[in-house]
Amino acid sequence: MQTHLNRFLESIEQQNRYSQNTISAYKNDLGQFYNFVIDSTPASTWADISAKDIDVYIQDLQSKSYASSTIARKIAAVKSFFADLQDQKVTTKNPTLKVESPRVQKRTPQPLTLEEVDRLLKAPRNKSTPKNLRDAALLSVLYSTGMRVSEIVSLKFNELDMSKGVLHCDNSDGQTRDLPLEEETMMLLQKYIDRGRPGLTRQSEQEYLFLNHRGQPLTRQGLWLIIKSYAKEAGLTTPVTPHTLRHSFASHKIGEGTNLQEVQQLLGHANISTTQIYAQRNKK
The 10s digit of each residue's pLDDT in 168-189 is 998 766 678 999 999 999 999 9
Residues in a beta bridge with 29: none
Best CATH choice for the domain 114-282 from the list 3.40.50.620, 3.30.420.10, 1.10.443.10, 1.10.150.120: 1.10.443.10
Per-residue pLDDT at 254 exceeds 50: yes
**pLDDT at residue 104 greater than cutoff 50:** no
* pLDDT cut 90: percent of the chain above it: 63
Q: How many residues does the chain have?
A: 284
Strand, coil or helix: 179:
strand
pLDDT given at position 67: 79
**pLDDT tens across 44-76, in order?**
999 999 999 999 999 888 888 787 888 888 999
What residues does CATH 1.10.443.10 cover in the chain?
114-282
- Give CATH for domain 2-87: 1.10.150
Q: What is the pLDDT of residue 106?
A: 47
pLDDT at 275: 80
Q: Distance between the two ends of the chain, CA-based, in angstroms?
A: 39
Judge whether residue 108 has pLDDT over 60.
no
Q: What share of the chain has pLDDT > 70, as a percent?
A: 93
- What span, in angstroms and rounded, lies between the C-alpha atoms of 193 and 167? 15
pTM of the shown model: 0.69
Domain with CATH 1.10.150 in the chain: 2-87
pLDDT in tens, 146-169: 999 889 999 999 999 999 999 999
| H runs (alpha helix) in the chain | 2-14, 20-40, 51-63, 68-87, 114-122, 130-145, 149-153, 183-191, 220-233, 242-255, 260-267, 272-282
